[in-house]
Amino acid sequence: RRCTWTKNAKQDGVFFPHTYQNWKRSEKIQDNVLQLIGNTPMVKLNSIPKKAGVKCNVYAKLEYFNPGGSIKDRIANRIIQDAEKQGLLKPGMTIIEPSSGNTGVGVALASAIKGYKCIIVMCEKMSNEKVAVMQALGARLIKTPITADSYSAEGIFGVANRLHKEIPDSLILDQFSNPGNPLAHYDTTAEEIWDQCDHKVDALVLGAGTGGTLTGISRKFRELSPQTKIVGVDPVGSVFAVPDSLNKTDVTFFEVEGLGYDFVPTSLDQTGADHWVKSNDQESLTMARRLIREEGLLCGTSSGAAVSAAMKIAVHLKEGQNLVVIIPDSIRNYLTKFVSDNWMEARGFQISKNVNKHWWWEN
Ligand code: PMP
C-alpha cells in the first residue's frame, strides 16, 4: 500500500492531517564564509548525564558548526586579521603554520578566500581526513614523525622555522604564542557562553591543545563570574595538568587529537583552570562514540575526553546548576579512525557491542 498524502491519499484510505510549524528567521546573507565563524549553538545533553546519575544541566557548545568544522576557525581568522592589520601579512605571501590540523583547516580556509599561499606542518599522528580537507582547500602539507620532539629539527616547530628561512615572503602566525589565539576566545567564545546560559555558568569543562580556548575563556570568566569553576582536561601522556605530579606516567603516545603536548605552550595559562582532570584514550574514544550514538552529536575525540571529564565533575553539582562543555571538532576528521569498529578493535579498544554491532532489539 502506498503511503502518501498526495491526491491519492483518500482513495488509498491513508490520510495524514496537515500540521504546521512556525518558521524561524535565519541570518541574512553573508559576504563570505568567514563571516559564519562563531555564534555556534549550544545544546543540552540528555541520555549521557541521565545514565551517570547527574542532576545538573549539562550543555554542549557545538564548535563543529563553524564553517571549517572546528573551534580553531575562530583563532585562525583572528590571527590572520591581526597580522593584516599590523602590516605583517600582505597579498601574495605564504602562511606557514604548525598545527594538529584544525587550525590548519581554518588557516587554509581563510587563505583560500583571501588568496594567501598556505603550508601546514603537522605530526603524522593526525588523521588523513584532516590532510584531505586542507589539500582540498589548496594548502600544502608537511608531515613530521610521531617520534620527533615538537621543538627538534624534525618536529613541527623545527620544520616550520626551516621553511620560514627558506621561503621568501613567508610568515609563521604561531598560534602557540600569538595573543590573538586566547583573545579570540576572550572576545567571542566566552561571551557567547555567558549569553547563551543567561549569565549562569557554574562549571566549564574544556580540553587544552595550544590552551588558547582555556586561557581566553577563563580570563573572561574571572571578570564576569569569578565563582565559575573551570576544569582543564589533559590526556595521560601530556604535561599540562597542575600539580605536575598528575602528569607522571610511562605513556608517551595517545590517540586523542588536538589535546596535550610534550611542552607547555606560551598560549596556555595553566592557572586558568581551578582543577585539572587527566583523560585516557579508552574513556575518551568510548565517550565520543556515545555522544554520536546517544546524543546525535557528530563530534571528535577531544569532545569525548571533555565530556567524560565533565561527567566526573557534574555528579558533584546540584539540580538547576549549569555545566558547559566544549565540543571542539567533528566526526569528519575521524571517519577512518575511532568511528570505525575495525580501527578500534585493531588497537585493543573495547567497543560497546550492543550499541555498535547489533540492532538495539538484538541487545
Ligand atoms: N580539540 C581539538 C580537536 C583541537 O584541534 C584543538 C586545538 N588543538 C583543541 C581541542 C584545543 O584547543 P586549544 O588549542 O584552544 O587548546
Q: Among 61, 66, 72, which residue has the most ligand 1 atoms within 8 Å of its CB, making it the best to mutate? A: 72
Angle between helices 102-114 and 72-85 (to 10 degrees): 50
Residues forming a β-bridge with 123: 144
Q: From first to last of its 363 residues, what are the pLDDT tens digits of the chain? A: 555 555 555 566 666 678 888 888 888 999 999 999 999 999 999 999 999 999 999 999 999 999 999 999 999 999 999 999 999 999 999 999 999 999 999 999 999 999 999 999 999 999 999 999 999 999 999 999 999 999 999 999 999 999 999 999 999 999 999 999 999 999 999 999 999 999 999 999 999 999 999 999 999 999 999 999 999 999 999 999 999 999 999 999 999 999 999 999 999 999 999 999 999 999 999 999 999 999 999 999 999 999 999 999 999 999 999 999 999 999 999 999 999 999 999 999 999 765 555 565 554
CB of 213 shorter than 6 A to ligand 1: yes
> For 257-289, what is each residue's pLDDT tens digit?
999 999 999 999 999 999 999 999 999 999 999
The number of residues in the chain equals: 363
Q: Among 102, 123, 276, which residue has the most ligand 1 atoms within 8 Å of its CB, making it the best to mutate? A: 102
CB of 329 shorter than 6 A to ligand 1: yes
What does the block give as the cell for 342?
575495525
Residue 141: C-alpha distances to residues 65, 96, 134, 177 (Å): 24, 10, 8, 21
> For 12-32, what is each residue's pLDDT tens digit?
666 667 888 888 888 899 999
What are the phi and psi torsion angles at 333 (to 5°)? -75, -10
Residue linked to cell 538484538? 362
90 catalytically annotated? no
From the list 10, 28, 50, 72, the catalytic residue is 72
CB of 68 shorter than 6 A to ligand 1: no
